[in-house]
Structure 1
Amino acid sequence: MSQNITLIATTAMGLESVVATEVKQLGYEVTVENGKIIFEAPVSAIPRCNLWLRSADRVKLQVGRFKADTFDDLFEATKALPWENFITEEGKFPVTGKSVKSTLHSVPDCQAIVKKAIAEKLKLKHGVAGNLPETGSLYKVEVAIHKDEATLSIDTSGSGLHKRGYRNGQGDAPLKETLAAALVMLTNWKPDKPFLDPFCGSGTIPIEAALIGQNIAPGFNREFASEEWNWIKNRHWDEAFEEVEDKANYDQKLDITGSDIDHGMIEISKENATEAGLGDLISWKQMQASDLVLKKQNGYLIGNPPYGQRIGDEAEAAEIYSDIGKIMKNHPTWSVYILTAYDHFEQKYGEKATKKRKLFNGFIQTNYYQYFGRKE
């Protein structure tokens, strides 16, 4: 396929600008909408974006976008799209859907209509009289209708991009790898500066920081649904993996530490870091945040501490925030970035944030409090 295609990088609310910057850095012009970045690109962008995007949830191929306020409109417009360019005669194409503020609000009906329309188009193009076999590669179709505008796409990623392939163990409330990477990218940390996460849990933030620090592509250790698609030439994947290897800076020295009060989580962090190929690059310590001792200058503390949302935990969370605030007051060259849903964080920390940004950790609305250190 020689012509450009339209891709959608989906993202958690609040991270659109981060994902847009990533896509631009890969060389593509973008349009930003709520929860998604849309861009025109050659087919080779599918391997590159899946391998490189750190903070996006998925990369989808947009097959069509049109107005649809009747089921007939949805069927005919779907059937008119060039599905045969993307889905093979044997391809599996399950259809999922969502509808927001639209006339066609019955999602099961929309899914069934889109499925039927695609099947009719494929049977017509491939000369199939009966049912399509659907025994081949997976092409997961989504119909998303918002204010009567339907977007039909195929998921190129397979498992969500947060599934890097290194996290074998995790705690009770794990932070998605994509959000962890975004938390690092929202700072101006550079790989030659000290980095600390005193609430590391299963190690996600320090591991993502190490991947960023050595410019290791986050998708290097996993597979993608679109690797099975015959219209994406093998050379596109080969070239993308070669680029990943060429751009990695394995010689970059890093000063990254993760600590946690739970010894079990430190062991899990070590295992996850080893699985990511970063076993020797990150230091891990079992300790509580109140025992933190900083001996270096110009460092970055990035953490996702307990939010205190369960009954009886609020006082404990408030004490942690107060302890960190007192410690960091004595280290003015350090920059501090804390993600929490605790409403009175600044009051407990003892200082108003330089900046704060609203982000979503799953379905929990949080603030990312940012304190910029004084550089010396």
Structure 2
Amino acid sequence: MEPSRNQQGLNRMMTRVSHDSLEQHQVWIYLAGLLLGAGVGMAWPGGSQQLDALVWPALALLLYATFTQMNLADVPRSLRDTRFLLAALVGNFLIIPAAVFGIVSLIPSQDALTLGLLLVLLVPCTDWFITFSALGRGDAVRASGLTPVALFLQLGLLPLYLLLMTDFDLGGVFDIRAVWPALMVLALPLAAAILTEAGASRRRFLAQVRERAGWFPVPLLAVVILFVSASHIGPLQEHLGLLPWVGLAGGLFLIAALLISKVIASALRLPAQQGRTLAFSLGTRNSFIVLPFALSLPEGWEIVPMVIVIQSLVELLGMIFYVWFVPRVWFPDRTIRAPQG
């Protein structure tokens, strides 16, 4: 039996309330997942292989739920706004990589730490960037339109960045026989999300799937963090001295992103709302996009996924500050006072 319009409206409202509540508390949800996973991993050290296997299906579901929230129909409109697009692309793909190289050069030279930081800091975010842009009084429409462009560019440019910024044998690290599952866990959810969006206008079921999928990225990412921390806490315990460096790199990156956003927005004379969107685009990173590649690394690189997860938590804590600071201090609304007399 078809639900009434009132019931449909109530369902949408309840879904929105649940979604907003999850987003407001996501930092603590992820932290709980990290701590619970660490506890499980220490209590069951022999289960790391089984727990590691569970990451892949959880990650595929997370990617599908996230990709369904991207509106490919917004891409043409975002491409027409050449000034904002230029600001976002130059900032994310030219200036930020240079800043990341400088930050990583300040960190102790440890291959796994370096690779983990490069993987996570070089790729702009395509999911919670939109959420934080909206919370920080940015332009969510431009944020939505930018994300597909940023996603495809980062997948093409990341290998080039790594080639230029590392001096170890990437061919030996990213063995194609080990990396292809990571490529599939990225490509298949993306293809499924594109098909879902294409069919949503004709199939009510697909439209409902797309609408309800927006509820799942937060809990699914918490599950992924739980499984990653549970399966990698053992190697991390041997490298606890690296954690402060991850925090330092993440903190320096957040500061650099703010400064870069201000310089670019001033140079291109972006309105305050677009400046805020730019700040959130530069400050947020695409941790779960690179996580499959980190999980496919050979023996000896086990701490890379944990570096990515911990940096993401640092970033989320930074976003709490961004949401307050960016619209009030960094890119405030300009009010024009009427002349006296």
TM-score calculated relative to the size of structure 1: 0.26
More strand per residue: 1 or 2?
Answer: 1
Please say which structure displays the higher CA radius of gyration: 1
TM-score by length of 2: 0.28
Per chain length, whose mean CA-contact separation is higher, i.e. which structure has more relative contact order (CA < 8 Å, sep 6+)? 2
